[in-house]
Amino acid sequence: MFQKILIANRGEIALRIQRTCRELGIPTVAVHSTIDAEAMHVRLADESVCIGPPPARESYLNIPSILSAASITGADAIHPGYGFLSENANFADVVAAHGLTFIGPSPEHIRMMGDKITAKATMARLGVPLVQGSDGAVADFAAARKAADRIGYPVLVKAAAGGGGRGMKMAPSPAELEDSLRIARAEARAAFGSDDVYLEKFLDRPRHIELQILADAHGEVVHLGERDCSMQRRHQKLLEEAGSPALSAQQRDELGSTVTAALSTLGYRNAGTVEFLYQDGEFAFIEMNTRLQVEHPVTEMVCGVDLVREQIRIAAGDRLGYRQSDVDFSGHAIESRITAEHPVSFVPSPGRVSLYHAPGGPGVRVDSALYAGCVVPSVYDSLIAKLIVHAPTRPEAIARLRRALDEFAVIGIETTIPLHQRVVDEPSFQAGDTTVHWLERFVSD
């Protein structure tokens, strides 16, 4: 097992990883920018190293600084958390080249899934269902026109290097295709340095359902069920659930078998999330994330598994030690992502938190690095707390979430708690009747 783990992240996820390390008896090193010197993830770590000024590119994305911090503290493994360097294959390469362990997949698998065209072709070959689309990248307008005629309109032009909603353009009919193609290519080139694009049939009211998997270095792969992340706005998730109110246990088992078999064949190692669109009873693979995700706690609550612990054990070469038949699902979990933003206008609201009181009681978990007197900087992600509730049934989980949101007090900055309170009271949310467009319609009322 590792002697010391450096956590290359900040905020709630750095704290989340520290907590597991402490339970495993592994000392931790926190890294931080100058503005985060008094942050909770620094205060609670065994050691800390300042790695640069506030802009992430000079600190949390600064690979030489992070490797120096690992070297001077004698860390033998690096956990990247989510965001920042977590899906940077070059970082994973450099970490290994320095004789350290990257707590994540191989650089090759990060690279493979980072290219959506390769990811889709790979998954298709392994029997995972896809949305109808072009056969790989479209070379030019003529090729796009031919593919779109076969797929049927509307089509979506997507960037191979995109993901998470960046670099997409819809073409409702042939007349718009040339413009959509040109715009998507230009945006992709500017944003990602690659203008490879592909086409997909546009689904008009999908749900976003993702499957959590764990794969060890010995070919054992299990799935931990799905999360429904349809409740989002501008590709920022607001609330996630495990399981999906739209799926049956049989659908979960079927999808799980297909996906775990595929990843076992691939030789994937680490936790991973396989994302699908789900519409009219059909799943379509869109992307795979090779990191721990923000919304991992809902899966932990229904499966009774510590995903960070599993990541660390897998990276150390341990066997999972259990099979799919040993994975039990219990109850329903919901996560509210609370951000430092105005609950109606979504204007960012950084600043000093004067008072902080987190909810508690049965089935309530709060993952947050907030404390009374802390400062929420404006330079990073606005996520300040994740409120996770767990209960035997979905209606009980919703009642518990409502109760916990009422207890939650964050004074000094604006937060999205009031938005969450409005969402949980909405009958169509309570009925589980949502798509990826639900929230945008709800907030524009």
Among positions 146-205, residues that touch ligand MV4 (CB under 6 A) are 156, 163-165, 200-203
Q: Which of 196, 210, 228, 287 binds ligand MV4 (CB under 6 A)?
A: 287
Q: Which is nearer to ligand MV4, 16 or 227 (CB)?
A: 227
Give, as ranges, the residues between 120 and 149 that touch ligand MV4 (CB under 6 A).
Answer: 131
Nearer to ligand MV4, 202 or 429 (CB): 202
Minimum Å gap between C-beta 208 and ligand MV4 is 4
Tokens for 139?
Answer: 């070379």
CB of residue 442 vs ligand MV4: minimum separation in angstroms? 14
With binding defined as CB under 6 A, does residue 341 bind ligand MV4? Answer: no
Closest by CA position to 382, among listed 12, 35, 32, 43: 12
* Contact set for ligand MV4, span 218-277 (CB under 6 A): 232, 235, 277
Give the whole-angstrom CA distance, residue 14 versus residue 296.
Answer: 14
Q: Which is nearer to ligand MV4, 287 or 310 (CB)?
A: 287
Judged by CB under 6 A, does residue 286 bind ligand MV4?
A: yes
Q: What is the Cα–Cα distance from 2 to 384, expressed in whole angstroms?
A: 30
408 binds ligand MV4 (CB under 6 A): no
Instruction: Work out which of 169, 208, 252, 296 binds ligand MV4, going by CB under 6 A.
Output: 208
For the chain, the 3-state helix, strand and coil shares in percent, each to the nearest 5, are 35, 30, 35
Residue 291 is among the residues annotated as catalytic for this protein? yes
Is the bond preceding 165 in cis, omega lying within 30 degrees of 0?
no
Given 207, 252, 291, 313, which residue is catalytic? Answer: 291
Residue 331, helix vs strand vs coil: coil
Nearest CB to ligand MV4, comparing residues 48 and 232:
232
Shortest CA distance to 47 belongs to which of 73, 12, 81?
Answer: 73
Cα separations in angstroms, 78 against 3, 30, 97? 11, 10, 13
Report, in Å, the least distance between residue 284 CB and ligand MV4: 7
What letter does residue 173 receive in the DSSP assignment?
S
Site size for ligand MV4, by CB under 6 A?
17
Residue with tokens 């620094």: 42
Instruction: Decide: 56 and 380 in contact? Cβ < 8 Å.
Output: yes
CB 360 within 8 A of CB 3: no
Please state whether beta strands 77-79 and 5-7 pair in parallel, antiparallel, or not at all (unpaired).
parallel
Would strands 101-102 and 77-79 be described as parallel, antiparallel, or unpaired? parallel
Nearer to ligand MV4, 33 or 434 (CB): 434
Nearest residue (CB) to ligand MV4, 38 versus 440: 440
Query: Is residue 194 within 8 Å of 163, Cβ to Cβ?
Result: no
Q: Looking at 105, 206, 256, 412, which residue binds ligand MV4 (CB under 6 A)? A: 206
From the CB of 233, what's the least distance to ligand MV4, in Å? 9
Give contact residues for ligand MV4 (rule: CB under 6 A): 131, 156, 163-165, 200-203, 206, 208, 232, 235, 277, 286-287, 436
Catalytic residues, by residue number, are: 291
